[in-house]
């Protein structure tokens, strides 16, 4: 169903034919719906994680509290991050809103690298950018985000 998955699988087949070990992380394939607003996800939703027996903490941040979204006049949507409850390791993300298809890359890399939500929140994002919503969504799992009262 996804072109980037097909490309990765094509490369994996080539690697297999060359005798290399291939390890595809099937649950780490981002998916985007190019609607208006865009919808992008990677990893499990909170419900899917709970169904798989994983206890979660969930961080949210509305784009209506993000300066860049407001200045673009496009503040519909949110960021939602899912982390494993004990380790606080990031396992899933969803973005609804402007540039969701671009924003989903950062949590995809963070999940692949095994980062906790605190590690993901730590780097400074430029202001005003949509990326700040990602940072503040991560903060929502363990603190009160700077620009929102928190969920």
Catalytic sites, residue numbers? 127
Name, in order, each residue with C-beta under 8 angstroms of 2's C-beta and a sequence gap of 6 or more: 29, 31
| The one among 3, 17, 18, 126 contacting ligand FAD by CB under 6 A | 3
Q: Does 33 bind ligand FAD (CB under 6 A)?
A: no
Q: Which is nearer to ligand FAD, 2 or 70 (CB)?
A: 2
Taking the C-alpha atoms of residue 132 and residue 56, their distance in angstroms, rounded to an integer, is 22
Q: Which is nearer to ligand FAD, 4 or 127 (CB)?
A: 4
Q: Which is nearer to ligand FAD, 6 or 109 (CB)?
A: 6
Read off the tokens for 41.
């996800």
Q: Does 2 bind ligand FAD (CB under 6 A)?
A: yes
Q: Does 105 bind ligand FAD (CB under 6 A)?
A: no
Stretch that binds ligand FAD, among 3-11, 14-22, 101-109, 118-126 (CB under 6 A): 3-11
Neighbours of 14 (CB within 10 A): 11
Name, in order, each residue with C-beta under 8 angstroms of 80's C-beta and a sequence gap of 6 or more: 46, 58, 59, 60, 93, 94, 95, 137
- What minimum distance in Å lies between the beta carbon of 40 and ligand FAD? 11
Q: What angle do CA 34, 32, 145 make, to 5 degrees?
A: 105
User: For 60, phi and psi rounded to 5 degrees?
Assistant: -130, 155
Q: Which is nearer to ligand FAD, 3 or 126 (CB)?
A: 3
Q: Which residues bind ligand FAD (CB under 6 A)?
A: 1-4, 6, 34
């Amino acid at each position: 169903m996804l072109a980037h998955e097909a490309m990765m699988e094509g490369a994996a087949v080539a690697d297999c034919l060359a005798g290399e070990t291939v390890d595809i992380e099937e649950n780490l394939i981002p998916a985007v719906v190019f609607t208006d607003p865009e919808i992008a996800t990677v990893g499990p939703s909170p419900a899917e994680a709970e169904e798989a027996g994983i206890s979660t903490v969930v961080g949210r941040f509305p784009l209506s509290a993000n300066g860049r979204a407001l200045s673009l006049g496009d503040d519909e949507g949110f960021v939602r991050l899912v982390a494993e409850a004990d380790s606080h390791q990031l396992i899933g993300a969803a973005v609804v809103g402007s540039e969701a298809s671009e924003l989903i890359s950062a949590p995809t890399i963070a999940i692949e690298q095994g980062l906790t939500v605190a590690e993901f929140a730590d780097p400074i994002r430029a202001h005003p950018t949509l990326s700040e919503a990602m940072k503040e969504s991560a903060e929502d799992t363990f603190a009160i985000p700077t620009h929102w009262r928190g969920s």
